[in-house]
Amino acid sequence: INAGADYIDEPLVIDGNLITSRQPGDLAIFSTAILSRLGYGGKDAALPDETDARAQWWKLADAWGGSTKGEIVKALNTVLSGERYSLEALEKYSEKESDAQIKSLFQEMIGNKQRHIQLLETRLNELGEKPSLAANIANQYAKVKATLTGSDDIYQLRSALGDVQTGIGDIGNLIAATTDPVSTAIFTQIHKDLLTYEQRLVDLYRIRVGAKLKSAKPTTGAAVTM
């Protein structure tokens, strides 16, 4: 609930004469709904039904000035690179970790990263594309970085937290810049998961260090700037 209204997390919400959407990824669906109500929709206008989840909405968005296919693929590969890097880093953190509770959380996050990677690779395949070179070598880069980092439990906790926070920033920027609803739905799910794990990492960190909190220690910089 926001300012007395109920927030509905859908690409298109219609309430009487009010038509709303959430984010740039909803552009094509939102615009199609407007045009339909102005009498310009349907097969005669070569526009899909606004409820058709299988429609190639990214093509419409591209035609109306939104993200091109190349930009969508680049965004997917950027997130894929980050998730592959994070997966490898978490596996290394888990190998070094002696705190059972932290190790358990790292293992849970590893499974979550694997699901994210599958979603991203599937979307690239749907667009007729493959992972970029940067995405393919991201895990190797993480292995090299892991050999140069500390091995104490708190250091690894800070590193994992920093990596999550870097991902939150990058993906948040891509959600705001991408007009493909399928890709932005994937980004949004990953973003929500990262926010959840950020809080859980912070909670563990606070329990273990008390008032002696230090800033997170990301092992990579931001990949996306606005």
Q: What is the pLDDT of residues 168-197, one digit of tens each?
A: 999 999 999 999 999 999 999 999 999 999
pTM as predicted:
0.85
The number of domains in the chain is 2
State whether 75 and 119 are in the same domain.
yes
State whether 49 and 157 are in the same domain.
no
pLDDT tens per residue, range 70-123: 999 999 999 999 999 999 999 999 998 899 999 999 999 999 999 999 999 999
Within its chain, how far is the Cα of 218 from the centroid? 17
State whether 137 and 155 are in the same domain.
yes
CATH of the domain at 173: 1.20.1260.10
Measured distance CA(153)–CA(20) in Å, rounded: 47
| 214 in a structural domain | no
State whether 58 and 112 are in the same domain.
no
Question: Measured in Å, how far apart are the chain's first and last C-alpha atoms?
Answer: 29
Boundaries of domain holding 21: 13-63
Task: Look up residue 109 and give its amino acid.
Answer: M
